[in-house]
C-alpha cells in the first residue's frame, strides 16, 4: 500500500516562525506615514500590540512561537501533506502532485495560523476586544475562533456582498461568540461616508478595513487585527511551509514548483517563504503566486506606494496595487479581491525572485471540480486558483514528458462556498478581464510619494 | 508538550472489518419477508449484490477489506483520535475525554466508511448505477462521493422539502457528479402516484425510499444502497472502533464508557462493536447509544418485528421501533429521526449488553457550542447528542471525583447545519418529549408476527 499522506506528530509543530526578511537580497521598503515619512512604532501602537509591531520590523531569521500558541495549534496542526495520486492519474501526467491540506483547521482554512498568535499577543498586552474585517469570511472565522480561545471579544466587519452570499459563515463566527456586522455600516465615520455616496454599496475589503481600523483607533481596549498583507501575518503563516518541508523530506521528494493563491499574500507567503530560504541558498525552485484575472494585482498592477484601505487611513506600503479606490468585480474568490498585496511578496516579485500568474474564474472552478472528483475534498474558490495553475503545469509536464514535482497549498475547503459552485454548474459564472483603462486611471489616484 | 492527538500511518488502516455477530451470546433474530417467513438471499438480490448479502448474514468474526476500498479510505483514514483537554478544563472534571474525529472525511461524516465498500461491491457485480434516498443529505453526499470514486452513476432521491431548504448538500452531491432529484418525482410509479394526488407534495423519507427501491428493482443495471440499519453497514463502520482501539493503546489509556449518537445504528455500531469484543472477553466497559427524547426508539420503543420503511414494502426486522408509521417531529438531527433501529443494536440492548440514553434537543446544542468554543470544531447536530451524554458523565465524575476515561464518536461536522445553530441562537429550538399515547398506539400498527 503506497503512502499518500504524510502526517507529523504534534511534537513536530514548528517551534519558530521563519522570517523571510533575513534572506531577502534587499531590505524591505519602509512603511510610510500619510505625511510621507517612515512610520514609527509609536504610530502603530494605537491599533497593534508592541510585540506584533516588533515582529513586523524584525530582521531575525527565526522568531520563537510562544508555547500557548503551539498549544492551540495542536487542535489541528501539523496538517497533512497529501499526494494527489488520483488527480495525477486523471490528468495522465508524469508530474508528482502534492498538496498541503490547510482545510482541516476548525475554521476551514489556513487563517487561524495567524489569528491564534494575534489573539495571544493582544491578550498578553491587556487588550479586551479585537476588531477586524473579513471578505470571504475565512479570516473573520479564524479570528472569532482565536479570540474565543483566549477569552477576547471579537467584532467582525464583513464585506456586505459576502455577508449576503454566505450567511453560514456569519453563523460560524457567532458560534465562536463573535459579533458580525455587514460593511459598510453606519457604526463608523468611514462606513457612513461610503453609504452616503452609495447606499447599495456591496462593500469591499478596503472599506471594511477602514471601519475596523477606525473602531480600534478610537477605543483604547480594542485592537485591530489583519488576516494578510502585513509582515507579521506572513511570518505566522510560515508554519505551513516549514511543516511541508519536513514532510517532503520524509516523502523523499522536493518540489520543483510551488503554487499558492495570492490575494494579500498570507497563503502564498506561508507555504513559499520557507522554500525561498532554500532558493536563496542556491536551490532551483520556482515559487508561483496565483491571482484572478479580475483582480490582477501582481501581473498588471503598479509597483508604488499606496494605502492599505480604500479611504486612506492606514500607512502606505510599497506594493503592487490596482489603486486603493479599486472596486473589485463580484467574483467568488472573496479572499482574492484586494487592491494591493503584501509588501514582502510585492518586493520579491519586483526583484524577480518569485513569479505570478493570473487565471480565469471559470477555469478555476473546472479545476476545483476535477480535484473534488478525484481527491474527494471540495476546495475553497481561492484554493481553486492554485489548483488551476498546478493542473496547467502538470499538463505541460504531460506534453513535455517532464516528471516534475509540484506542490500547492490547499488553503481551505469550500463548504461555505457551495452557492458559487451552484452558479458554476448553472453556467452563470463569468470571466472578467480587468480593464486596461482602469489600470491606467489608477495611476492618477495613487498617493504622491518620492521614491528614494 | 502534551500529545493531544493520536494519528496513525495509512498502513494502519484496518485490513478486516469486525463482525459483532461472532461475539453475541445469541444468534441474530432472522429477517422476515412480508409473509412472515425468513427471507432468502434470492429475495434481496434484486436490489443488492451477492457479496453484500453474504456480509449481511455472515457469522465470521473478521471480514477482509478489499484493497481498492482501503485505497479510497486513504483519502481521509485513519482519522485522528483527539484528547479534549480544553473541554475537560472548561468542565473542571477529573475525567479524561477522548473523541474519534470522523468529521474529516470529504463528505464530512462517518458515512463514506460504508458508502465506499457498497460502491465497490456493486461495481464488482457489474452494476452501472446506484440509487438511494437522502433526507438531511449526509448519506446522499457519501454515496455520491463513493460512486464517483468507482465510476458509478448515482441517483439520489432527496426529500423535496430538504432539496428546497438545504440546497448546499445538493450542490455537494452534484459536485461529485450525482444526479439529485427532488422526491416525489415523475420518474417512478410510486412518485407519480403521490404527485397525481398532490402536485405540491413536500415528500417524505418513506416516499423517497420507495422511489429509490423501485428504480433499483426495475433496472437490472441499478442497485439500491442504504446508509444505516443493516448488518453490513454497521460492519463497514467498525473501522472507526478498530482504529480507536489501537489509538487508545498508543495513548496508554482505555475507555470506561463510550458514547455515540444512535439513529439507525451505524454510528454507534461503528465505534462500539470492536470494544464489545473486549466486553465479551470480560473487560469492564460501558457502551452507551445516545438518542433524542423526540425519537426515543431504544429507551421507549417496542422490541418487535416491524418494517424498515413507512409504507411497509421492505422486509421486517426485529428491532426497537416507534411504529413504521411514526411521523418524526422536525428536530434538527435529521440522521436520528428514524422510527426503528439496527437489529443488531436492538438485540444487544434487549440483552442488556449495551445501554441507551435519550437527551433533549436544546441541551445537545448547548453541548455542541461548548465543544466548539473549547475544541474548535463545530459538530453536526447528531454528534451533539454524544457530546451531551459525555459531558453529563464528565460532570458526574466531577461530583464523585472519579477520573473515568470517556470516549465519544464525533461523527460529523456541522458546516451544513448552521441554519440549525442559527435557530438555537435565536431561541427558536424546542424540546419535544415524544407522547406516551403515540407509543402505546404504535403497538396496534405493528405487523402481527408470532415470535418463536
Q: Mutate which of B166, B418, B420, B421 to disrupt the A interface (most A C-beta within 10 Å)?
A: B418
Cα B242 from Cα B270, distance rounded (Å): 9
Assigned domain for A29 exists:
no
**Predicted local distance difference test score (pLDDT) of residue A205:** 80
**Predicted local distance difference test score (pLDDT) of residue B43:** 84
Q: Mutate which of A378, A380, A412, A417 to disrupt the B interface (most B C-beta within 10 Å)?
A: A378
Assigned domain for A237 exists:
yes
Cα B292 from Cα B287, distance rounded (Å): 17
Complex ipTM value: 0.96
Whether residues A421 and B171 touch (CB distance < 8 A) is answered with yes
On the question of pLDDT at B452 being above 60, the answer is: no
Residue among A42, A229, A47 at smallest CA distance from A122? A47
**Predicted local distance difference test score (pLDDT) of residue A391:** 98
Listed in sequence order, the DSSP H helices in B10-84 are 41-44, 50-57, 67-73
B277-294 pLDDT tens trace: 999 999 999 999 999 999
| Minimum CA–CA partner of B112 in chain A | A376
Q: What is the mean pLDDT of residues B334-342?
A: 86
Query: Which phi and psi angles does B182 have, rounded to 5°?
Result: -75, 120
Q: What is the mean pLDDT of residues A231-252?
A: 98
Whether residues A145 and B377 touch (CB distance < 8 A) is answered with no
Assigned domain for B370 exists:
yes
Please indicate whether residue B210 or residue B246 has the higher confidence score (pLDDT): B246
On the question of pLDDT at B115 being above 80, the answer is: yes
Classify A27 as helix, strand or coil: coil
DSSP string, A270-291: HHHHHHHHHHHTT---EEEEEE
Residue among A100, A104, A123 at smallest CA distance from A112? A104
pTM of the model as a whole: 0.96
Residue among A207, A216, A168, A165 at smallest CA distance from A186? A207
Tell me the residue range of the domain where B424 lies: 67-108+232-445
On the question of pLDDT at B54 being above 70, the answer is: yes
SS (H, E, C) A185-215: CCCCHHHHHHHHHCCCCCCCHHHHHHHHHHH
Whether residues A7 and B7 touch (CB distance < 8 A) is answered with yes
Please indicate whether residue B180 or residue A336 has the higher confidence score (pLDDT): B180
Q: Which residues pair with A223 in a beta bridge?
A: A130
**Predicted local distance difference test score (pLDDT) of residue B161:** 86
| Bridge pairing between strands A316-321 and A302-307 | antiparallel
Assigned domain for A365 exists:
yes
Least confident of A34-38, B143-147, B344-348: A34-38
On the question of pLDDT at A329 being above 80, the answer is: no
User: How many distinct structural domains can be found in chain B?
Assistant: 1
Half-sphere exposure of A190 (CA within 13 A, CB side): 25
Q: What is the mean pLDDT of residues A432-449?
A: 88
**Predicted local distance difference test score (pLDDT) of residue B451:** 66
Cell digits of residue A121: 499577543
Cell digits of residue B119: 460502491
Cα A229 from Cα A233, distance rounded (Å): 7
Cα A148 from Cα A176, distance rounded (Å): 6
Q: For residue B20, give the DSSP letter.
A: G
In chain A, which residues have their Cβ closer than 8 Å to the Cβ of B168?
415, 418-419
Alpha-carbon distance values, B174 to A254, A366, B26, B225, B414 (Å): 35, 13, 44, 18, 19
Q: What is the mean pLDDT of residues A129-152?
A: 95
* pLDDT above 90: percentage of residues in chain B: 82
Kindly give, in sequence order, each residue whose CB lies less than 8 Å from that of residue B12, ignoring residues fewer than 6 positions away: B78, B243, B246
Whether residues B378 and A71 touch (CB distance < 8 A) is answered with no
Q: Which residues pair with B16 in a beta bridge?
A: B64
Residue among A106, A108, A113 at smallest CA distance from A69? A113
Q: How far from chain centre, in Å, is Cα A35? A: 28
Whether residues B145 and A70 touch (CB distance < 8 A) is answered with no
Cα A387 from Cα A407, distance rounded (Å): 10
Q: For residue A391, give the DSSP letter.
A: H
pLDDT band at A451 (very low <50, low <70, confident <90, very high): low
In chain A, which residues have their Cβ closer than 8 Å to the Cβ of B105?
376
In chain B, which residues have their Cβ closer than 8 Å to the Cβ of A419?
167-168, 171
Assigned domain for B155 exists:
no
**Predicted local distance difference test score (pLDDT) of residue A64:** 98
Cell digits of residue B197: 394526488
Cell digits of residue B82: 483527539
Kindly give, in sequence order, each residue whose CB lies less than 8 Å from that of residue A303, ignoring residues fewer than 6 positions away: A318, A319, A320, A346, A350
Phi/psi-derived region of residue B56, left when phi > 0, alpha when psi is between -120 and 50, beta in every other case: alpha
- CB nearest to B373's CB, from A70, A108, A176: A176
- CB nearest to B167's CB, from A1, A104, A422: A422
CB of B63 within 8 A of CB of B235? Answer: yes
On the question of pLDDT at B333 being above 80, the answer is: no
Chain mean pLDDT for chain B? 94
Q: Mutate which of A68, A83, A376 to disrupt the B interface (most B C-beta within 10 Å)?
A: A376
A206-227 pLDDT tens trace: 789 889 999 999 999 999 999 9
Cα B376 from Cα A150, distance rounded (Å): 12
Cα-based torsion angle of the residue sequence A338, A339, A341, A347 in order, rounded to the nearest 10 degrees? 170
Assigned domain for A31 exists:
no
Find the CATH number of the domain harbouring B316.
3.40.50.1100
A236 upstream amide cis, omega within 30 of 0: no
- CB nearest to B10's CB, from A4, A67, A105: A4
Assigned domain for A225 exists:
no
Listed in sequence order, the DSSP H helices in B296-380 are 297-300, 343-350, 361-375
Q: How many angstroms away from the CA of A69 is the closest CA of chain B?
A: 12
Alpha-carbon distance values, A316 to A30, A34, A351, A439 (Å): 9, 7, 20, 19
Assigned domain for B73 exists:
yes
Amino acid at each position: 500500500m503506497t503512502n499518500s499522506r504524510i502526517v507529523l506528530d504534534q511534537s513536530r509543530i514548528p517551534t519558530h516562525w521563519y522570517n523571510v526578511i533575513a534572506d531577502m537580497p534587499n531590505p524591505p521598503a519602509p512603511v510610510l506615514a500619510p505625511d510621507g515619512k517612515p512610520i514609527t512604532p509609536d504610530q502603530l501602537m494605537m491599533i497593534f500590540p508592541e510585540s506584533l509591531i516588533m515582529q513586523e520590523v524584525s530582521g531575525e531569521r527565526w522568531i520563537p512561537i510562544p508555547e500557548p500558541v503551539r498549544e492551540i495549534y495542536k487542535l489541528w496542526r501539523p496538517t497533512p501533506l497529501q499526494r494527489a495520486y488520483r488527480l495525477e492519474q486523471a490528468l495522465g501526467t508524469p508530474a508528482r502532485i502534492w498538496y498541503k491540506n490547510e482545510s482541516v483547521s476548525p475554521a476551514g482554512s489556513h487563517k487561524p495560523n495567524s489569528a491564534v498568535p494575534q489573539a495571544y499577543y493582544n491578550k498578553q498586552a491587556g487588550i479586551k476586544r479585537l476588531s477586524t474585517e473579513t471578505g470571504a469570511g475565512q479570516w473573520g472565522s479564524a479570528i472569532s475562533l482565536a479570540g474565543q480561545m483566549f477569552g477576547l471579544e471579537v467584532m467582525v466587519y464583513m464585506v456586505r456582498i459576502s455577508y449576503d452570499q454566505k450567511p453560514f459563515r456569519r453563523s460560524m463566527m457567532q458560534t465562536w461568540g463573535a459579533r458580525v456586522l455587514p460593511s459598510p455600516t453606519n457604526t463608523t465615520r468611514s462606513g457612513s461616508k461610503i453609504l452616503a455616496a452609495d447606499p447599495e454599496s456591496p462593500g469591499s475589503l478596503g472599506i471594511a478595513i477602514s471601519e475596523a481600523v477606525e473602531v480600534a483607533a478610537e477605543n483604547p481596549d480594542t485592537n485591530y487585527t489583519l488576516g494578510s498583507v502585513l509582515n507579521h501575518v506572513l511570518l505566522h503563516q510560515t508554519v505551513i511551509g516549514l511543516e511541508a518541508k519536513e514532510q517532503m523530506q520524509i516523502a523523499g521528494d522536493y518540489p520543483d514548483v510551488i503554487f499558492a493563491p495570492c490575494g494579500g499574500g498570507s497563503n502564498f507567503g506561508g507555504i513559499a517563504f520557507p522554500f525561498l530560504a532554500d532558493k536563496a541558498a542556491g536551490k532551483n525552485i520556482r515559487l508561483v503566486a496565483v491571482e484572478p484575472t479580475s483582480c490582477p494585482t501582481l501581473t498588471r498592477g503598479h509597483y508604488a506606494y499606496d494605502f492599505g484601505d480604500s479611504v486612506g487611513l492606514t500607512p502606505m506600503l510599497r506594493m503592487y496595487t490596482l489603486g486603493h479606490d479599486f472596486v473589485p468585480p463580484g467574483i467568488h474568490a472573496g479572499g482574492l479581491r484586494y487592491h494591493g498585496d503584501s509588501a514582502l511578496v510585492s518586493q520579491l516579485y519586483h526583484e524577480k525572485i518569485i513569479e505570478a500568474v493570473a487565471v480565469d474564474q471559470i477555469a478555476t472552478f473546472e479545476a476545483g471540480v476535477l480535484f473534488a472528483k478525484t481527491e474527494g475534498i471540495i476546495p475553497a474558490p481561492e484554493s481553486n486558483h492554485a489548483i488551476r495553475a498546478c493542473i496547467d503545469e502538470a499538463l505541460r509536464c504531460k506534453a513535455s514528458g517532464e516528471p516534475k514535482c509540484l506542490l500547492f497549498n490547499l488553503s481551505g475547503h469550500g463548504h461555505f462556498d457551495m452557492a458559487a459552485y451552484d452558479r458554476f454548474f448553472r453556467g452563470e459564472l463569468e470571466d472578467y478581464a480587468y480593464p486596461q483603462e482602469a489600470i491606467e486611471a489608477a495611476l492618477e489616484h495613487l498617493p504622491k510619494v518620492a521614491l528614494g
